[in-house]
Structure 1
Amino acid sequence: MTQQPESTTITSTSAPHEETGAQAATSSAAGPLPPLAEPRPPAERRVWPRTFHDRLTAPLPGLKAFARFAREGAVRPGPEGLADIPRLPFEPGPLPRVDARTVAVTWAGHASWVVRIGGLTVLTDPVWSRRILGTPARVTPVGVAWEALPHIDAVVISHNHYDHLDAPTLRRLPRDTPVFVPAGLGRWFHRRRFTRVTELDWWEAAELHGVRFDFVPAHHWSKRTLVDTCRTLWGGWVLTAPAGQRVYFAGDTGYGHWFSRIGDRYPGIDLALLPIGAYDPRWWLRDVHCDPEEAVRAAQDVGARRMAPMHWGTFVLSAEPVLEPLTRVRAAWERAGLPREDLWDLPVGGSRVLE
């Protein structure tokens, strides 16, 4: 595939074939979606709206919510909730051998996966740092040593929060690594001299060596500084191999109508990588983080054959006990009557191969 020249500039405020803005954020029954978009040219320069506030599916917390949180909110578990840190599952192993028709995933921790698909090695939201801004150090080590990684063919980023967009980790990559990012986030990478950055709006796609990268909506938000709230978009990624296998990486998201829309648009998802942690207190985090039961519902909504939980057991970001997400997701999966072998509840460092 020929790389688009860096000087190419395309003005884009939305995907022209799809519902956008406030309609996109609130319409859960807008009828059938149009056909999948044609892949966009890689690394094209685009102009985006100044803000993506109209994509929010719930208002951001206001002064009353912050006041309530100051009175009664908890940002960390108590001593009993932290006591299980030594029991958090950590079983690093060698990456599985794969070929171009094999799909394999390895959980490095939090939302960082090594996805082998269509002959490519793709990193999702890579965070190999021990500590991220404003958060205690990770409670489990990274599951895959950086030196053990094969050549990285691409990186996908879900949004710009520090636990998903980690500058020290990204500095380890060659600057010509293809990076797929949400609308508006390309500038951050260009300032760091990355040369193959593809920005996409919801429902847009790009291709790399036959693997299709579709950017899909999420119930979340973005912010990295005091002045950039919702200036860049947020979402998940559907990766489709030439042989047809599909992996859905949800990024960071609350539960809502987008899951069924994604399932309608991308039938036959083989594996959904879904967040199950950072959900307590519920009144504070419900709109932007799934709890374990909602994650199982989300897997069913997207029609995924298998689910692999993530976004737990790595950083202590909220008040639930550290092992609770795992016990609750296992119980929810069993209550839903789903085959136990289709819940890929991997330890940090664990791998599975999609046969």
Structure 2
Amino acid sequence: MARAWAVAASAARRYPRHLAHSVAHSIQQGLRGAVGSHPIGVATGPRPACERLAATWLGHAAVLLNLDGLTVLTDPVFSERIGLKLGPWTLGLRRREPLPVHEMPPIDLILISHSHFDHLDRPTLRRLVDRQTRVITAANTKRLIPTGFGEVIELPWDRATNINGLRVAAMKPKHWGARTAWDRHRGYNSYVVEGPRAQVLFAGDTAYTDAFKGVRSELAIFGIGAYDPWIANHANPEQVWDMFRQMPGEFLLPIHHSTFELSDEPAHEPMSRLIRAAGDDAARIVGSSLASQWRM
């Protein structure tokens, strides 16, 4: 009961303010004739160089991966504001910092962990539509994906598929998948992506769980924010480090922090707590600087 009151109090403090900001911002955009999403396109030039494994954090849960020359993009959210669309208005949260990129390389695969607005952003996906791009998403979320992609695959828990030589397996994290109050049937996934020379875990959103114990990975991508007061659905940094140690993982890329004001903890608290939790192993934390590429 105490936890439920804390969650309700957190929402009451923040959401009316965000709603007011959303309306004011949408009116300003309408007066200027501006669009609601960040301008971003897909490059038509040469593909990126072939890497064993490279990763670039693009804010929140979006990570651009290069596995042996194949590009994988996780939970892309490039809009300036996320939330419910009402005509030209978007009622929701605004990015704390501008998107650090304006053009993406050709994308082979997009992974969508679940349908929450901060992970499945339809305006962003519409800008990334390409017949050469495939999308893997959670159960009962396919209809939310814009049309025009080469293929959209709903991948249930404990199932796997192969995309251009990559094996992608879906796992069950500790979270939930509803986009609204009326669609709690929607799924929510973590993914293990296995390339020829490296394996990556993209945990998506999860509370503390032993689901990842024994999952080998060269790179583990975990969310470290939105735990105060949402600890029942989002692990805190110390819990993330414990899950990472149990895998075992070689390197940890932290996401889901300092991009949107989803919870009550200060923007930079998750990273500082994670570094303290890692102690002498903090060098295994990689890719935490926005738009900086890490290579294995």
Structure 2 length normalisation: TM-score?
0.80
The amino acid of 1:239's aligned partner reads: V
For residues 135 and 348 of structure 1, what CA distance do their matches in structure 2 show? 22
Question: 1:67 deviation in Å?
Answer: 4.9
1:174 and 2:129 are equivalent in the alignment:
yes
CA deviation digits over 1:239-282, x for unaligned, max 9?
Answer: 11112x1111110111112121xx2xx43x1011111101112x
**In structure 1, what is the equivalent of residue 29 of structure 2?**
none
Identity of aligned residues (%): 37
Structure 2, gaps ≥5 residues long: 15-46, 84-90
Residue 247 of structure 2 is matched in structure 1 by: 302
CA offset at residue 143 of structure 1?
2.5
Q: Aligned pair in 2 of structure 1 residues 227, 150: CA closer, same or farther (>3 Å)?
A: same
- Counterparts of 1:1-355 in structure 2, within 5 Å, are 66-67=4-5, 69-71=7-9, 76=14, 99-133=49-83, 134-145=91-102, 147=103, 149-176=104-131, 177-189=133-145, 192-229=147-184, 231-243=185-197, 245-260=198-213, 263=214, 266-267=215-216, 269-281=217-229, 285-334=230-279, 337-338=280-281, 340-354=282-296
Greater alpha carbon shift after TM alignment, 205-214 vs 325-334: 205-214
Take 2:273 and 2:12, find their aligned partners in 1: how far apart are those partners? 20
One-letter identity of the residue aligned with 1:331: R
Query: Using a 3 Å threshold, how does the CA distance of structure 1 residues 74 and 277 change in structure 2: closer, same or farther?
Result: farther
More strand by share: 2
1:100 Cα offset (Å):
3.5
AA in 2 matched with 1:248: L
Call closer, same or farther: CA 1:71–1:106 in 2, change over 3 Å.
closer
| Aligned-pair CA distance for 1:323 | 0.9
Contact persistence 1:271–1:308 (CA under 8 A): yes
Q: CA deviation at 1:74?
A: 6.7
C-alpha distance in 2, partners of 1:72/1:164? 21
TM-aligned CA deviation for residue 345 of structure 1: 4.9
Pair 275,75 (structure 1): closer, same or farther in 2 beyond 3 Å: farther
Runs of 4+ in 1 over 3 A off after TM superposition: 64-76, 97-101, 191-195
Query: Which amino acid letter does the alignment assign opposite residue 249 of structure 1?
Result: F
**RMSD, aligned CA:** 2.3
Take 2:63 and 2:6, find their aligned partners in 1: how far apart are those partners? 35
Aligned-partner Cα distance in 1 for 2:287–2:294: 10
SS in 2 for 1:348: coil
The answer for unaligned runs of 5 or more in structure 1 is 1-61, 77-96
- CA distance in 2: counterparts of 1:328 and 1:178, whole angstroms: 36
Does the CA contact (< 8 Å) of 1:182 and 1:233 recur in 2? yes
Q: Is the 8 A contact 1:129 1:168 kept in 2?
A: yes
TM-score (norm 1): 0.68
The structure showing larger relative contact order (alpha-carbon pairs under 8 Å, at least 6 residues apart) is 1
Output the amino acid matched with 2:177.
Answer: S
Conservation of the 8 A alpha-carbon contact between 1:138 and 1:315: yes
Q: Within 2, Cα distance between the matches of 1:72 and 1:115?
A: 34
Whichever residue aligns with residue 53 of structure 2, its letter is V
Counterpart of 2:67 in structure 1: which amino acid? I
